[in-house]
Amino acid sequence: MSAVVASLLATNTAFAHQQKAAETTVLFNKRSGHLEIMHRFYLHDTEHAVQDLFNDKHADILDSEKTQQQFADYVSQQFYAKTLTDQTITLNTVGFEVDGKFFWVYQDAPLPKTEKGLKLYNGALRDLWPTQINMVNVEGQGPVKTLYFQDNKDWLAVYF
């Protein structure tokens, strides 16, 4: 078997398994005047997660709006933002959707008055899977800043 074929098979096998990784974008949108938060989860991960999180073997993230809403509510309860002076930034859940191989959850808040940085917490799925890694990209305040929530990391700060 050629190395190329072996590589393709290994890649396909990897995508059939849980990734245990999620990506969040926190965007300072000066045009809208909002802090926009977009959480992206692999659909395969969410399929496994909802059954355990909600103790329901029939939970269906693909076809059940109830399960989708439950998962969006769960994510919203696992992501927090504060100013560097520890003032809570109240986040509103805007919506959710299935898009291809991803499940998206959207939140927003009025732009905070802070210009120097933020403190963020992203615990989504880390209570279920200790190996879960949540990457957060902060955009719209100069170069993109990236935080990794893994292991025992709880609150992390990003500075502009």
pTM, entire model: 0.87
Residue of 49, 88, 87, 90 lying closest to 68 (CA atoms): 49
Q: 59 and 69 in contact (C-beta within 8 Å)?
A: no
Per-residue pLDDT at 11: 41
* Cβ atoms within 10 Å, residue 142: 9
For residue range 7-59, what is the model confidence (pLDDT) as tens digits? 433 444 444 567 899 999 999 999 999 999 999 999 999 999 999 999 999 99
The DSSP output letter for 157 is E
Q: 94 and 107 in contact (C-beta within 8 Å)?
A: yes
Per-residue pLDDT at 19: 85
Q: What is the DSSP string of 7-55?
A: HHHHHHHHHTS---EEEEEEEEETTTTEEEEEEEEEHHHHHHHHHHHTT
Sign of dihedral through CA atoms 129, 90, 40, 69?
A: positive
For residue range 63-110, what is the model confidence (pLDDT) as tens digits? 999 999 999 999 999 999 999 999 999 999 999 999 999 999 999 999
The DSSP output letter for 78 is S
To which H or E segment does residue 126 belong? none
For residue range 97-149, what is the model confidence (pLDDT) as tens digits? 999 999 999 999 999 987 799 999 999 999 999 999 999 999 999 999 999 99
